[in-house]
Structure 1
Amino acid sequence: MLELITNWYRRKFSDPHAVTLVFILVALALTIYFFASILMPLLVAIVFAYLLERPVTALTRHKIPRTLSVVIVLAIASAIIMLVVFGIMPSVWHQVVALSSDMPEMLSQAQEYLLALPEKYPNYVNAAQIQSITDSAKTHVIDLGQGIVSQSFKSLVNLVALMIYVILVPLLIFFFLKDKDLLVKSATRYIPANRRLASQVWAEMNVQISNYIRGKVIEIVIVGGVSYIAFSILGLAYATLLSVLVGLSVLIPFIGAAIVTIPVFLVGLFQWGISPEFGYLVIVYGIIQALDGNLLVPLLFSEAVNLHPTSIIVAVLLFGGLWGFWGVFFAIPLATLVKAVVNAMSKQKSDNEQVPAAP
């Protein structure tokens, strides 16, 4: 066994370029794992810098200085963010409060329905089981309400930290966009000279991450917007809140859509019961999810769909467990990174083993 491991190590890491690549990946992973909370403003700024790089580049192609292009793009992006914060978030918060106040009535309706089950199916359900389920549900709802209140007070306490983010993140985005080439050139000074494989993987992943972030934002806007229009036409309660949840659910591939289906169907069920309106909601919501998974995602993430769904789910669970939200958000790029590293090292091995043909 030891000899097998030794041979594998020599075969894979005899090349200094492969050693450099592994060293960089391990160093980045350990840095993010142990210092993610400290580096959070930096990560947020990097995401926005990737998102805004293309419009900045488009303006520079029209002979506009890069610094001025960055200022224009940041001003437009800030206006859009302010519109979202002050235009959509108050409505979302109002509907969260309304849903919290309506929750006891919903629980009462659910309890009445469940208590009628022992009479209909006495051989399968008894009253003690139903009472236990309803008591547990009430406890969870009370804990959820208390958690929302405590989180609100905690947000007020962290208002100073939020203001620091509001000032620090835009500054970081500005300098990342303005001095992009200078920062990349400075970073390469600290990387060993044997970095051909690392450069190859970086060139591929730089394009992948940029396309992924931009595609995710577009997907969130389209799915959330279409869901809001559909929910409003159907007359579904809490349409803004539910459409925001549906839009954000695309951040978690496969799993997010399954999770957000529960509140959408529960609200529709409590509002309409088993009725044609609820059937229309199920059909419309199913069409939205089908179009997202079979049309929108392949168009936006042509490279990512080459990954098997099992690989994506494993990546979500693994990287989400390691790095929380950012691990889930970058699950597909990270899975693509693993694939790119494996392909690069395999190609390197093939090149090293290739024997020149005899003349």
Structure 2
Amino acid sequence: MTEPVQLPFYAKLPLILVSLLSFAFIFCIGKDVITPVLMAFLFSVLLLPVFTLLNTKFKFPRYLAALLCVLLFALFVAGIFIFISYEVTDMANDFETIKKNASAFITDIHKFIKDNFNVSIGEQKKYITNVTKDSVANGNATLGSAIISLSDLLLDCTIIPIYTFLFLLYKDHFILFLAKLIDRDNHSVLKDILTQIKVSINNYIVSLILEMIVVSVLTSLGLWIIGVKYFILLGLITGLLNLIPYIGITAAGIITILASLTGSAETSIILGILIVNLIVQLIDNNVLVPLIINSKVEINAFVSIMGIIVGGAAAGISGMFLAIPLLAILKIIFDRIESLEPWGYLMGNHMPKRFIWRIKKAKIEN
């Protein structure tokens, strides 16, 4: 039996970096194809317990069990969006009120700036016209981009369920393919990696759903207390958009402020909305994320933020959503391959015991 080649560190490091850069480059140029596949993979892992239950316990054929799983998931998602669309249609009836209150609110802002900063209303309007001139000039290009994005979204909504069905149907086929790729001696490692990936992704997605529910309830409660109309709808939208890192909560705040104009244009209501969003975000970032998300995905904050930024730059909102589970999968693989174990440690949130001991000792001395 031939001995494996042991490369020195200065030779292994470039090979590892080149491999990672190659995967990143392939993802960037093929994101339109790869992103739906990865989304379907995550959903198939989430639905795997239901598929196994139907296939093994209730003796459903594999194709029927996979089809039922996809249909149940599609009905659940469709139910949420039907509820939102119904409420949005109801809100559209108040469009004239929103328009009237928005005009009154903008007028109040103009007066506030005039009284406190000595800038006339005419100068303010002139400045706004100059700022928005380029946006109006590029309106056709923006409309074209929006149409392309909408068509891509519709295509993804069609192809992702199909991919999810195929992942569930050919689950064992894919596992046997991976087993054929590696030596028989490493099959136990492969089994451990696949098991941990399934557990990690399941825990992460369930944690996201739980976080979404808690954020929706807290936001709805806060909006109800301050007297905002459609508080249930706005709370649900906030919870859904909160799944998108960074930009989601900002978009939810803007939508909530616009929706609050169905009632009145009082500045106190808008200030209350900002306070509610701030409090919910403080609870989410300091309680829910550490308790629910970080306990399931052992990735440190630095790597998480970098991954989200890179994912957003590579594939937009879908890339930001996929960043954390993909990092979790990489960490599981790195932790179980001896030559890559230091990289898994770098991605984790472990603190060396001697540093913990020094911190405790410093606290005692102080």
TM-score by length of structure 1 reads 0.69
Q: CA deviation at 1:185?
A: 1.5
User: Which position in structure 1 is the counterpart of 2:74?
Assistant: 78
Q: Is the Cα contact below 8 Å between 2:43 and 2:164 reproduced in 1? A: yes
Segments of 5+ residues of structure 2 without an aligned counterpart are 1-6, 343-366
Q: Is the Cα contact below 8 Å between 1:96 and 1:241 reproduced in 2? A: no
Q: CA deviation at 1:183?
A: 1.8
User: Which position in structure 1 is the counterpart of 2:354?
Assistant: none
User: Which position in structure 1 is the counterpart of 2:264?
Assistant: 271
Identity percentage of aligned residues:
21
Q: CA deviation at 1:51?
A: 2.2
Deviation readout 1:136-165 (Å, 9 max, x if unpaired): 576689789988976786688x49x94x65
User: Which position in structure 1 is the counterpart of 2:351?
Assistant: none
How far apart are the structure 2 equivalents of 1:107 and 1:140?
A: 23
User: Which position in structure 1 is the counterpart of 2:37?
Assistant: 42
**What does residue range 159-198 of structure 1 map to in structure 2 within 5 Å?**
162=154, 168-190=159-181
Q: Is the Cα contact below 8 Å between 1:315 and 1:335 reproduced in 2? A: yes
Equivalent of residue 47 in structure 2, options 35, 43, 52 = 52
How far apart are the structure 1 equivalents of 2:93 and 2:188?
A: 53
> What SS is found at the alignment partner of 1:257?
helix
> What SS is found at the alignment partner of 1:330?
helix
Deviation readout 1:166-195 (Å, 9 max, x if unpaired): 654433322211221212212454568897
Segments of 5+ residues of structure 1 without an aligned counterpart are 1-5, 14-18, 351-359
Aligned Cα root-mean-square deviation (Å): 4.6
1:131 lines up with 2:132 in the alignment: no
Q: Is the Cα contact below 8 Å between 2:243 and 2:321 reproduced in 1? A: yes
Deviation readout 1:315-342 (Å, 9 max, x if unpaired): 2212211222222002223444565566
User: Which position in structure 1 is the counterpart of 2:84?
Assistant: 88
How far apart are the structure 1 equivalents of 2:183 and 2:95?
A: 56
Q: Report the residue type matching 2:82 in the other structure.
A: F
Q: Assess, with a 3 A threshold, how the Cα gap between structure 1 residues 51 and 241 changes in structure 2: closer, same or farther.
A: same
- Tell me which of the two structures has the higher relative contact order, counting C-alpha pairs closer than 8 angstroms and 6 or more residues apart: 1
Q: Is the Cα contact below 8 Å between 1:304 and 1:336 reproduced in 2? A: no
User: Which position in structure 1 is the counterpart of 2:244?
Assistant: 252
**What does residue range 93-242 of structure 1 map to in structure 2 within 5 Å?**
95=91, 102-103=98-99, 106-107=102-103, 109-122=105-118, 125=119, 130-135=124-129, 158=151, 162=154, 168-190=159-181, 199=190, 204-224=196-216, 226-228=218-220, 230-232=222-224, 234-237=226-229, 239=231, 242=234
> What SS is found at the alignment partner of 1:236?
coil
TM-score by length of structure 2 reads 0.67
Greater Cα shift, 137-146 or 232-241: 137-146
How far apart are the structure 1 equivalents of 2:25 and 2:232?
A: 39
Q: Is the Cα contact below 8 Å between 1:115 and 1:130 reproduced in 2? A: no
Q: Report the residue type matching 2:162 in the other structure.
A: L
Q: CA deviation at 1:134?
A: 3.5
Equivalences, count: 333
User: Which position in structure 2 is the counterpart of 1:3?
Assistant: none
